[in-house]
Chains A and B, each alone.
Chain A
Amino acid sequence: MAFRDYIRERFFPHIWCPGCGHGIVLNALLHTVEGLGLDRTSLCMVSGIGCSSRIAGYVDFHTMHTMHGRALACATGLKLARPSLNVFVPMGDGDATAIGGNHFIHACRRNIDLTAIVLNNRIYGMTGGQFSPLSGRDVLATTAPYRSIDEPFDIVKLALGAGATFVARTTAFHVREIGNLLKKAVLHKGISVLEVLVQCPTYFGRKNNQGGAVEMMELYRDNTAPLGSKKLEDNPSLIPRGVFREDTRPEYCEEYAKVVARAKE
């Protein structure tokens, strides 16, 4: 199967701004799916609302573009009704951790076999550059003209605390790493949370003097380091990348199958 067979070419060009990091994640995702040779009729994508959610329109999967923050809740129903499906859930930072925060922690807690990808650009892009729960303090945004005072979530810690069984982080600069981590995430049985730091040059970069897409990606290169690396050891203030947790715990659909078996006894 050729890589291009996994996209809906008729719906291109995409809506993302020049320099946006979302397309890089889409690219990595398509190569991962192609590499794994997954049954096409099993491929599903459920997304919420925002720039990131538009990924669902471009992949030739069964795609459900839902409501702001509700992707994981919809995906839970879809997966539980048909556990053989491979369900990808791309979300933005506001989508996953603000309006969808409750669904996020509960999907992690349930350990249902979904691949959740949080495309974290630290801003609400679709609505024009408002700060999000991942913006952090001292950020300029259209709703923080005097700089934000909100403390940010750390997605990795949030997912770990909520009980996700696969948790990883990378950035749009590290294209191959996205693919490698996505592959692990897909193969993992249970909820997988992959955070990808993605640049939004249009709003976050421009508002906060981070330059264009290239400069922002250079920041990802310089300000992050792999877990267990010398670079991170020497400078613990860098953002760690890699797999933070990969363990096994009963998966929700499999556990539910046991409930059915018990009920039928």
Chain B
Amino acid sequence: MSGVVTGKSPAGNPDGAKRGGTAPDMHFVQGNEACVRGAMYAGLNFFAGYPITPSTEIAEHLSDILPRNGGVFIQMEDEIASMCAVCGAALAGAKAMTATSGPGFSLKQEAIGYACMTEIPCVIVNVQRGGPSTGLPTKVAQGDVMQTRWGTHGDHSIVVLTASSVQDIFEITVEGFNISETYRTPVILLFDEVVGHMREKLVVPAPGEITLVDRLYTEVKAGVNYHPYLTREDGRLPVSDFGGVHRYNVTGLFHDIFGFPTENADQVNRLIYHLVDKIENRAHLLARWKEYHLDDAEHIILSYGASARSARHLAETRRGKGDRIGFLELQTLWPFPAALIREKTAHAKSVFVAEMNMGQIAAQVKQAVSKPDRVFLVNRMDGMLVTPSDIGAVMRTVEGRGF
């Protein structure tokens, strides 16, 4: 891990160091199970889902763990209903989540848009598989990056996080819940078949070790006018649960501060800017990343998710041979950390983006940097994990050294 700098990473215990004289709470689990444990750590108490490969283990584990902890698990009739149930439960005060893959993620888009518009905090896990359509249900891919950003119709903004190891999945899941509560927005955890199914060591932090964000409730007393959509100056929106003393309307239509439908151009304009700005203006705060050997790097590999494992492996190997290779792993994909990437790659001769799609993040990187023609895509979409050799071959070619 020499040379690693972690950006804005939640305080965790990634190396499993002993805490306070007690043995670490250590496990050997799948990424999907780490997500479940992270969600429970974050206070998850409602899950609605539908079976789909390769995310199913999340539903299976939660059907066991949630009832034991007094939470709700429900298997709905489809993916649409699962996402809708999450919205309903969140309004009743639950920390709610759903998990899916491929076609199921397509079906959830309608209600994800509803959650954006109504500012319902919730978490959606998408363990990616090959697409389009039924695609490659049991194989790895990263083709849903743009779908997480623009899958639901209309202008909006959204937070999408990812991770490349079992330990990171745990921590980024907790982080996802915290961000969703802070900004009252759906947060998408974009994993993939490889990180979801692989088993690694997981050290569960002690309770309290990672700070949790709970819902911000209004201080307006019963009988006093509560405006559910009157944003505070800091962009946060204090809530009152359904079943509480304040009764108000929630709608997917453009609405005023009472939550009542409006077509007033001023109010519409204000709301759409609020929904976008509350996330895009905080891109720097929401950026999570890891960096390795960037300081003197001539060539930088940028990657995320399962691809990042191969990218890091290659970077470390070539460092060992004396090559000035750096590695930047994105954990926040949206809002896209353009300023961060511009800064980190400013002195590099070239940037190689390793991902398992047709260049969905590579296109964003090209837009972010000052020399877009020095950004090269290294990809693979045949259901196999992009390997260090795949990345190395492209790099050697670009460097003019053959392969």
Contacts and interface: CB of A to CB of B under 8 A. Distances in A.
Interface of A: 8, 11, 40-44, 46, 56-57, 60-67, 70, 73-82, 84-85, 102-103, 106, 256, 259-260, 262-264
A64 B85 CA distance: 12
A73 B252 contact: no
B247 A256 contact: no
A63 B247 contact: yes
A110 to B, nearest CB: 9
A84 B243 contact: yes
Report the interface size class on chain B: 35 or more
Given A57-B261, A77-B86, A67 B67 contact: no
Interface in B215-268: 241-245, 247-253, 260-261
Which of B77, B87, B88, B252 has the most C-beta atoms of chain A within 10 angstroms of its own C-beta?
Answer: B88
Interface in B243-299: 243-245, 247-253, 260-261
Contacts of B80: 70, 73, 103
Contacts of A67: 84, 110-111, 114, 252
B39 interface: no
Given A64-B251, A65-B252, A81-B92, 15 more contacts: A43-B247, A46-B88, A62-B242, A62-B243, A63-B250, A64-B88, A65-B253, A70-B80, A73-B76, A73-B80, A74-B85, A74-B88, A76-B76, A81-B96, A85-B92
B85 A63 contact: no
B89 A77 contact: yes
B93 to A, nearest CB: 7
B85 A256 contact: no
Contact of A256 (B72, B78, B111, B251): B72
A75 B64 contact: no
A61 B247 contact: yes
B245 A41 contact: yes
A76 B74 CA distance: 10
B76 to A, nearest CB: 7
A64 B97 CA distance: 19
A81 B72 contact: yes
Given A65-B252, A67-B114, A74-B84, A40 B242 contact: no
Contacts of A65: 249-253, 261
A63 B88 CA distance: 11
B94 to A, nearest CB: 4
Contacts of B208: none
A40 B245 CA distance: 9
A11 B88 CA distance: 23
B259 to A, nearest CB: 8
B297 to A, nearest CB: 47
Given A103-B77, A106-B77, A76 B67 contact: no
B243 A63 contact: no
A158 to B, nearest CB: 15
A102 B92 contact: no
Q: What DSSP secondary structure best describes chain B's contact surface?
A: mixed
B92 A78 contact: yes
Contact of B247 (A62, A79, A262): A62
Nearest to B81: A73
Nearest to A86: B243
B48 interface: yes
B249 A81 contact: no
Contacts of B253: 65
For B64, B70, B94, B251, the residue with the greatest tally of chain A CB atoms inside 10 Å of its CB is B251
B242 A102 contact: no
Interface string B75-117: 0111011001111111111101000000000000011001000
A103 to B, nearest CB: 6
Contacts of B85: 73-74, 76-77, 80
A82 B76 contact: no
A60 B87 CA distance: 20
B46 interface: yes
A223 B21 CA distance: 81
A124 to B, nearest CB: 18
Contact of B87 (A77, A260, A263): A77
A103 B260 CA distance: 26
A78 B86 CA distance: 8
B384 to A, nearest CB: 36
B48 to A, nearest CB: 6
Contacts of A56: 249
A256 B85 CA distance: 15
A11 B252 CA distance: 17
Contacts of A62: 91, 242-243, 247-248
Contacts of B46: 77, 80-81
Contact of A66 (B70, B87, B244): B87
Nearest to B255: A65
B401 interface: no
